Amino acid sequence: MEVKNGGSITKDTFYISHGAPTLSIDDSLPARHFLQSFRQTVLSEKPKSILVISGHWETSDPTVNAVVGPTETIYDFYGFPDQMYRLKYPALGAPELANRVKELLTGSGLFKRVDVDKKRGLDHGAWVPLMLMYPEADIPVCQLSIQTDEDATYHYNMGKALAPLKDEGVLIIGSGAATHNLRKMDLLGRGVQKMVRARVRYLGMRRLLLVIVHIIISSF
């Protein structure tokens, strides 16, 4: 992070594969140790706020959460150890950042509608890596949804519109994985076409996240 005209600049943007939700408790996972050492080995400066673009929030139109006060921890997973449902990540919401994201997207002229959700908390694509990276939960967090029915150009332009946030001390994180939703995979050979469609859809979603991150990285 640098200082420019009295404000901070976050030079780097990160795409993080947050893995299974058990990353929050399983100390045998190398990714857990990497995220826990993030401030010491990757980004020592503290960002002003954090924008997370998670693969677990899909909407028809771009939507940001603008929570005033501590955000709710969303347990959007099922059948995992009970202790995981007792974890909390009460980071403050970032309504000012949410409004700035909306301003940038609508100002680009490419996104006519950007919704604001004042109640939605953080899904596990956000709070699981953040509780390891910033366990104090002392940095305001905002999430932005993705639109899986849109193409790569759409999300490329989204990333381009958001690039100015890097000059405003905002850490931008894309959070997802290359594949997902294994429940839709038929390992016994039935419904192969359905399995392939599900796999392509989720792989495409993650690639779109990579596109967002790529344009932000290359835009300065």
Amino acid at 10: T
Three-state DSSP state, 91: coil
Query: Given this structure, which CATH class describes domain 2-217?
Result: alpha beta
pLDDT of residue 9: 55
Q: Which two tokens stand for residue 137?
A: 């939960």
CA separation for the pair 186, 203 (Å, rounded)? 17
pLDDT of residue 130: 97
CA separation for the pair 152, 210 (Å, rounded)? 10
CA separation for the pair 152, 214 (Å, rounded)? 12
**Helices 152-162 and 95-107, packing angle to 10 deg:** 120
pLDDT of residue 180: 56
Closest CA to 17 of 132, 139, 153: 132
pTM for the whole structure: 0.83
pLDDT of residue 5: 43
Tokens 């995979």, located at residue: 185
Map out the domains of the chain as residue ranges. 2-217
pLDDT of residue 42: 93
pLDDT of residue 15: 84
Closest CA to 144 of 131, 161, 128, 132: 161
pLDDT of residue 184: 52
Beta bridge partners of 89: none
CA separation for the pair 146, 57 (Å, rounded)? 6
Amino acid at 200: V
Residuewise pLDDT in 10s, the chain (220 residues): 554 444 555 568 888 887 788 889 999 999 999 999 999 999 999 999 999 998 889 899 999 999 999 999 999 988 999 999 999 999 999 999 999 999 999 999 999 999 999 999 999 999 999 999 999 999 999 999 988 888 888 888 898 999 999 899 999 998 876 655 555 544 445 554 454 444 444 544 554 455 455 545 544 4
C-beta atoms surrounding 108 within 10 Å:
13
